[in-house]
A and B are shown apart, each in its own frame.
Chain A
Amino acid sequence: MATVSADTPGFWNGTRRFARFLAGEMKPRGRLLTPFNVITVVIMATAAVILYVRFTRGLGSVTNLNQDVPWGLWIGFDVITGVAFAGGAYVLTFMVYILNQEKYHPIVRVTVLNGFLAYVFYAGALLLDLGRPWNVINPIIGNSFGVSSVLFLVAWHFLLYMTAELLEFAPAIAEWAGWPRLRRWLNRLTLGAVIFGITLSTLHQSGLGALYMMARDKVHPLWYSEFIPIMFFVSSIFAGLSMVIFEGSITHRVFHHRVGPDLERSHDSILRGLARICAGTLFVYLFMELIVFVHGQKWDYLATGWGAWYLLEVVGFVAVPSVLFLRGVARKSPRVIGTAAILTLVGIMLNRLNISVIAFKWYLPVRYVPTWQEIVVTLAVLSAEIWVFRWVVNRMPVLDDAHVRSGRLERVERASASAA
């Protein structure tokens, strides 16, 4: 591995060595012709063609968006649902760096990586949906700040939050590249980045809900309330953690060889801890749903088809998983916890899609249904993210936990030094 420090023979030498190291790391590891690889490559290639058509002939050529439904699957699922799923990063960094729950430290890196990539890819999918993407810099370079716009806030937060998450993850990159000095320096930034990231997350998770505040007459009353921003925030907690549980169980199996001993040992206990938090926040959320429902006097809607659909979401995918989580904890069963996590994720997906797509303008005679092209592009975004994730996990110290121990050591040393 290359080392760049003050006493390297020359800057160019170092750069050349790093380039060689990078080239080596770029080579694929493992078999190339796996079913997963083949399928995802086909999906991504198809998406590339679709996107070419989309950018040369307009959005209408590949999507079913229309004058009545300006936002479809790409926003409703990729952005709004995807960002809720990525909420795990801010919740976990809160637990580990703010509440100092050391137990969860071994899974912070992988979660932050996941969160970062989710933002890059899902929020990045926003660009595909923009009609005039060449103007996307307008609200950023400041020649036209639409400060009264919730979307302005959300867009800025996406950008800043990605930076914060990159900073949080940067020590892993420094370790991988063999830059210990940079790593120590980056480590010192972590707490700041975490604090900034949590603050931003609170705002943009709820901000995604606030996007619909002006569409109050267009979202079905069972889903619309003035409390959407708060509900979006609360639900992002269990959405994010359920994603951590779900992804964790997959990662654990697929990247078994990369998992460090600490994580191996504490994995089940971490799982139960997360499940408990999920259950708690799900109950809070359920209670809020109930209050909003009663307060909004929505009884009459229950007897309709929309009412049944609403009950399915709230009972089937909020109440049921919250009980399941508790049961999983009591029985110490990772399988029950995993099932609960999947149900929760489905529930979040339903909720976000109901507000943004399904129950949006429920009164229209002709419903929006995404085209196959919209679905393929969504799958391609997902595949691309998994490819990058796999590349990183296979190379950088993400799942192994030497950094947690060494970090702990550093802190203890610092503490004893200051005590002395």
Chain B
Amino acid sequence: MRRRSAVKTLALAAGSTLAGRNLAQARQPSHGNALAATAESRAILVDTTKCLGCRMCERACAESNGLPEPAKSIEPGKLRDTSETQFTVVNRYETENGPVNVKRQCMHCLQPACASACLTKAMLKTADGPVIWRGDKCMGCRFCMLSCPFDVPKFEYDSANPRIQKCSMCFDRLREGESPACVSGCPAKATVFGTRTEMLELGWSRIYHEPDKYVHHIYGEHEAGGTGLLYLASVPFDQLGFRTDLSRESYPTFTREFLYAVPFVLTMFPPFLFAVSRATAGYRQEDPEA
């Protein structure tokens, strides 16, 4: 059913060699060509091996976005999800390498499912990278929530004037030339902000410098077609609550074919139907019951 173009197949093949952890080839920025348009988009690199789990980013986020202050103490062992009042959470996972802290928020996909799902363009992928939500457009259909492979957008179910809430990568701060609040607020420099190309280079160079410390995989480099949040870790990502079964193709691809078919059906069906109705018109008088 899905016809991959030769180019796409090539790009995909290039991608899989990369995942094959072949160092020589991985150095080549082969991810660049398929996504040339987004080369300058901003990204955040999260190095989970550096994260202390102090949750300062949660506070910085709440403060910057005018959200209620996150709970002081959290139940140990409990995994939290982001919510309509908390755009980023840090969870602690017990793994084979001991505890690992993972900060989660919107992944700011390169080709976001949420934005392509949105029928009003309320969800918007900005040229700088952040995926933002615009209340004057949104009609609250929640199709973005249904479509997001990371289940990020949250809805204010208890409001008569509900908003879709999620991390905006501090879009307004970025415009002022600042970093996202969570990045600025991190005392351990576990998060780094820059262009996506830089962040990938930084990520891979950390992996090469300490090949035994890291798994040789940057989560977000290819997941869901590539994301604006990139993760380094010391243990396989499925131990850290990441979905590892996600497609490497971007999610909008899955509906693209259907949408491509639409203009064809719209232009070809009517004349065809008309022709058939003409061709069968003779039956009318010959119909014995008529």
Contact B119 A139 (CB under 8 A): yes
Chain A residue with the shortest CB-CB distance to B84: A67
Contact with B along A75-107 (1 / 0, CB 8 A): 000000000000000000010011111110000
A20 to chain B: closest CB distance in Å?
39
Q: Which of B139, B142, B252 contacts A136 (CB 8 A)?
A: B139
Taking CB atoms, residues of chain B closer than 8 Å to A266 are 289
Contact B140 A144 (CB under 8 A): no
User: For this complex, into which size category does the number of interface residues on chain B fall?
Assistant: 35 or more
Chain B residue with the shortest CB-CB distance to A64: B157
Contact B283 A102 (CB under 8 A): yes
Taking CB atoms, residues of chain B closer than 8 Å to A206 are 258
Contact B251 A210 (CB under 8 A): no
Q: Is B170 an interface residue (CB 8 A)?
A: no
Count the A residues whose beta carbon is within 8 Å of the partner chain — how many? 71
Query: A144-B120, A146-B119 in contact; A216/B247 too (CB < 8 A)?
Result: yes
Q: Which of B122, B135, B280, B285 contacts A99 (CB 8 A)?
A: B280
Q: Which of A55, A70, A100, A133 contacts B284 (CB 8 A)?
A: A100
CA distance A237 to B2 in the complex (A): 25
Contact A57 B158 (CB under 8 A): yes
Q: Is A195 an interface residue (CB 8 A)?
A: yes
Contact B139 A214 (CB under 8 A): no
Taking CB atoms, residues of chain B closer than 8 Å to A144 are 120-122, 137
B254 to chain A: closest CB distance in Å?
4
Taking CB atoms, residues of chain A closer than 8 Å to B234 are none
Query: A102-B283, A213-B258, A216-B254 in contact; A58/B157 too (CB < 8 A)?
Result: yes
Taking CB atoms, residues of chain B closer than 8 Å to A375 are none
Q: Is B5 an interface residue (CB 8 A)?
A: no
Q: Which of B160, B161, B243, B280 contacts A98 (CB 8 A)?
A: B280
Chain A residue with the shortest CB-CB distance to B254: A213
List chain B positions with a Cβ less than 8 A from chain A.
1-2, 81, 83-84, 113, 115-122, 135-143, 145-147, 149, 151, 154-162, 243, 245-247, 251-252, 254-256, 258-259, 262, 265-266, 269-270, 273-274, 276-277, 280-281, 283-285, 287, 289-290
Closest 10 A/B residue pairs (Cβ): A131-B140, A60-B157, A152-B119, A70-B142, A132-B140, A214-B147, A70-B145, A199-B269, A146-B119, A135-B139
